[in-house]
Amino acid sequence: MQKKYLYIIIPLVIILIGVGFFFHLPKTSEKGYTNIVSSENQHSKPISPETCRDCHQKEYTDWQSSHHFKAMEIATQETVLGDFNNTTYTADGVTSHFYKKEDKFYITTTDSDGKPHDFEVRYTFGFYPLQQYLVAFEGGRLQVTRQSWDSRKQRWFHQYEKQHIPHDDWLHWTGNAQNWNLMCASCHSTNLKKNYNPTDDTYQTTYTHLTVSCESCHGNTQKHLQAVKDKNYVKGSDSLWNISEQQTEILRCAPCHSRRGEIGGEFIDSNSFLDNYLPEIPSTPNYYADGQVLEENYKYASFLQSKMYQHGVRCSNCHDPHTTKLKAQGNQLCSQCHDTEKYNHQTHTFHQPQSEGSLCVKCHMPTKTYMGNDIRHDHVFRIPRPDLSAKYNVPNACNECHNDKSAQWANTHAKKWYGNLNKNNHFDEDLILGSSSKNPNRIENLKRLLVSEDYPEIIKATALHYTSEIPIQTSIELLKSHLNHNNEQIRYQAVRGLNNFPITYYETEILPLLKDKIRAVRIATADLCLNHYGLQAALTKNGFQKAFNELESFILHQSDFASGSAIAGDFYAKTEQHQKALKFYQRALHKDKTLNYVRLNLATLLNGQKRNSEALKMLQEAASYEPKNAQIVFRLALLTYEMEQPELSLKYFEKTIQLEDKNPRVYYNYGLLLQEMGKVKQAENIFLKGLQQWADHKDLRYALYTLYAQQGQFEKAKKYQ
């Protein structure tokens, strides 16, 4: 009854956890968990923005009008934009009441028990195009209410509009998905420390400044302040973050403008993003097959695909970092670098001057709307490809405006105007074909992406991700050849990809990465070694212990997320720390009842402890969520047989056959049960049906051979020897 599962934490990228340890445990706290070191004591005393103002008055004034300044504020008459003048809003089966009392703001809406309660608004979140509101709960939690204020249309609206969300659902505003500490906090405050306690599932979250202030981008400024007081100070000579270089600047913007997961609670002072974060790559299902943005992925992975990035463009070329506004409006922004005569002309746009269609962003930065009303541009800056839309059903900018026309219509016009749309040999078509499991030649498309020197490194990393899905020797060689690549994202994806193949094919090449200079790569390698060696053998490998400690800290740091609790449950189940595993599994289901795979893993754990009645209850609960899941019903059949309930087991086997006939073990075990119950003819029929589909299946052949031999039908039996 064992089953391996892959887990992905959203909005995070998570490596497969399949580990166990029995000795040489890392240093633990008194409650038995690896210590997660707070970075509070790694930094000297923070400096307030008002101190910076003394020398940087203009930047300070600009910042006060910015989205950064208003990222999070205490709820006051000045900061709250929503209508709290005794108003109501009804939508999606919920009526909410907004009112003020003694200069405080309140919302009456459904609680986690499904009943209406009054909640005080403690903080505002953002201001345009929407403002959200935070409410305090026990355990140090802040929750984001579903009711949001549309600053553009001056009205209330719901996140997840037109969805009826049950009060016990993960997406309910009191649930894990709307938890500030986990989902939002690190990008709306300065020097935030989540300080999650995995022992009791509580937070002691701290920050040095409530909103996004100077140190969020420039780093700790204490040494800078000391340096400028020195009479011999030379401008730019101190240790303050210098964001004049492209990579350094992007490294400061990326943590909050990317879809990524945190590796640990302790921040490593590093020039590599993957020492502290695991960024999403532009792969399906979060992106379209050609790398265009689909889900709420922010900007980083899109920008790294672009020609802009490859030519050294950085965020501040277009965005003022202090006002957070564009440096120019309309096509003037693009004209900073691009030839106005060539591009800002009807002979290029084929749209009337000053019309929306003549704007550069309309064709090269198509939009999607997130959070109900927040319109965001894709930052790949690609040439529209309606030809690919016609062939592969990916979107294009032309049909975003001309949505009453077909992709072929747009393609006809685009080819007439511009000729070959792929004259620059873009990666998009190879990426589309490489992503498709239905394409028998996908490995050739992926090879082209990997060998070309023209394609972005993040596209090569994505190609490695897809390569790992193809179970052939060529995949192993391609992945192995990228283990020593100078780009850490590529090395990381190569390690993750090789986890799908036997370690005997790459053992010599993989082990040095236990001591890779980048933390994400070390963690991925430790996970791979544990999966393939088991702990006792892995502990003999040079560098494994340190990487293993980092792996456990990573798991616990993510365990406040529902799926993170499930991963922690797996971790402790495989280390035979069953009580911890049980607690994390139960916590995962408490946070998100829809995580049915957790019920299966929990049932396996309980079965291994001979607690079969509890395991049966868990599997029956899983079946109630997915009544047509043949795997769950099959496991019920096996468990009830083990519990000596043959009649019930028989019913589950019959139902499994009705739901699915693609697993030969179903026919094998079903036939054995029938034979044991004396229903020999029925057992024979089941074995024969199985052999019709899997003629060479050894267990089915032996089962039928044995059945005939036991009945004295030796001639029939000979056919299945």
Q: Are 541 and 529 in contact (CB under 8 A)?
A: yes
Confidence of residue 232 (pLDDT cuts 50, 70, 90): confident
SS (H, E, C) 618-643: HHHHHHHHCCCCHHHHHHHHHHHHHC
Q: Tell me the mean pLDDT in the region 9-19.
A: 30
Nearest to 331 by CA among 305, 292, 369, 357: 357
**Last residue in a domain, options 226, 259, 280:** 226
Whether residue 209 is contained in a domain is answered as: yes
Predicted local confidence at residue 17, as pLDDT: 29
CB atoms under 10 Å from CB of 669, counted, come to 21
Whether residue 159 is contained in a domain is answered as: yes
Q: pLDDT tens, 267-286?
A: 898 999 999 999 999 999 99
Q: Omega into 49 within 30° of 0, i.e. cis?
A: no
Q: 158 lies in which domain range?
A: 50-226
Q: Provide the angle, in degrees to the nearest 10, between the axes of the packed helices 630-642 and 612-625.
A: 160
Predicted local confidence at residue 241, as pLDDT: 57
Predicted local confidence at residue 69, as pLDDT: 97
Query: In which element (H, E) is residue 148 found?
Result: strand 147-150
Predicted local confidence at residue 3, as pLDDT: 33
Read off φ and ψ for residue 489, nearest 5 degrees: -65, -40
Whether residue 108 is contained in a domain is answered as: yes
Is 90 exceeded by the pLDDT of residue 42? no
Averaged confidence pLDDT in the chain: 91
DSSP 31-92: TSSB----GGGGS-----HHHHHTT-HHHHHHHHTSTTTTSEEE--TTT--S--SSEEEEET
Task: Report the CATH number at residue 606.
Answer: 1.25.40.10
Q: pLDDT tens, 120-176?
A: 999 999 999 999 999 999 999 999 999 999 999 999 999 888 999 999 999 999 999
CB atoms under 10 Å from CB of 570, counted, come to 27
Give, as one character, the DSSP assignment of residue 263: S
Whether residue 665 is contained in a domain is answered as: yes
**Last residue in a domain, options 226, 245, 263:** 226
Whether residue 233 is contained in a domain is answered as: no
Q: Tell me the mean pLDDT in the region 530-539.
A: 90
Give, as one character, the DSSP assignment of residue 369: E
Is 80 exceeded by the pLDDT of residue 539? yes
Predicted local confidence at residue 242, as pLDDT: 61
**Last residue in a domain, options 179, 196, 226:** 226
Whether residue 179 is contained in a domain is answered as: yes
Predicted local confidence at residue 108, as pLDDT: 98
Q: In whole angstroms, what is the distance from residue 429 CA to residue 408 CA? A: 17
Confidence of residue 236 (pLDDT cuts 50, 70, 90): low
Q: In whole angstroms, what is the distance from residue 220 CA to residue 596 CA? A: 44
Predicted local confidence at residue 31, as pLDDT: 40
Range in 109-113, 422-426, 475-479 with the lowest mean pLDDT: 422-426
SS3 149: strand
Predicted local confidence at residue 4, as pLDDT: 31
Whether residue 631 is contained in a domain is answered as: yes
Range in 41-50, 418-427, 490-499, 546-555 with the lowest mean pLDDT: 41-50
Is 80 exceeded by the pLDDT of residue 25? no
Is 60 exceeded by the pLDDT of residue 8? no
More confident residue, 497 or 225: 497
Question: What is the chain's percent helix, strand, coil content, to nearest 5?
Answer: 45, 10, 45
How many residues belong to the chain? 721
Domains of the chain: total: 2
pTM here?
0.89
Q: Tell me the mean pLDDT in the region 626-632.
A: 96
Whether residue 141 is contained in a domain is answered as: yes
Predicted local confidence at residue 28, as pLDDT: 35
Predicted local confidence at residue 568, as pLDDT: 95
Q: In whole angstroms, what is the distance from residue 5 CA to residue 605 CA? A: 14
Radius of gyration of the CA atoms of the chain, in A: 29
Q: In whole angstroms, what is the distance from residue 173 CA to residue 132 CA? A: 12
Predicted local confidence at residue 135, as pLDDT: 98
Read off φ and ψ for residue 401, nearest 5 degrees: -90, -50
